[in-house]
Structure 1
Amino acid sequence: MSYKHNNLMAMRQNYWDDEHSSTVQTEKQFLQNLLVEEGVFKEASLEDTKYFFFTLPSIIIVKAYALGFHHSEVRRMLVKHIHTHKPALMKRAALKIQFKI
């Protein structure tokens, strides 16, 4: 594993494990709702959302840290990711995380 991979994975894990920030909780709910809106799951659980979050390309994670998941540019990237990988996401298949920034 590369240094960059370790840092980005740590960012993902720290974000996901944050139970105290109301912003993070709101964004998790946003991601959960997005999965339902885009038809990935009929009802997305928190575990479904966690799975989805950990499939996101690093460029989305970095932009979301800077702008928030609600930002229109980040939302557009999320929807594109969903549309590109929808069949795999619906099956909760393992996706290779993209680390291009």
Structure 2
Amino acid sequence: MGIFDWKHWLVILIVVVLVFGTKRLKNLGSDLGETIKGFRKAMNTEEEEAAKPQAQPTVQTATQSGAPLQPHTIDGQAQKVEDPLRKD
């Protein structure tokens, strides 16, 4: 008995068919199938891209460019930030 009784499922099926009609239910089924196929295709594409070896970035040395490499510096200044919620 309960919700798994075949009679309950039959009544639910009849109500759904009466409310939506058979054409709309048929379109819903095919749309759901296309959606699942698209999802699987996207997942397979992502897996294939992840399996490909990533190209290593090349590092240019002084001998390759012909000129010595210049060091890069970052200019900045540290500042102390006071926490307005903290009371000492």
Bin the TM-score by the shorter chain.
Answer: under 0.3
Pick 1 or 2: higher relative contact order, CA cutoff 8 A, min separation 6: 1
Determine which structure has more spread, i.e. the larger CA radius of gyration: 2
Which structure shows the bigger proportion of residues in helix conformation? 1
**TM-score of the pair, normalised by structure 1:** 0.24
The TM-score normalised by the length of structure 2 is 0.26
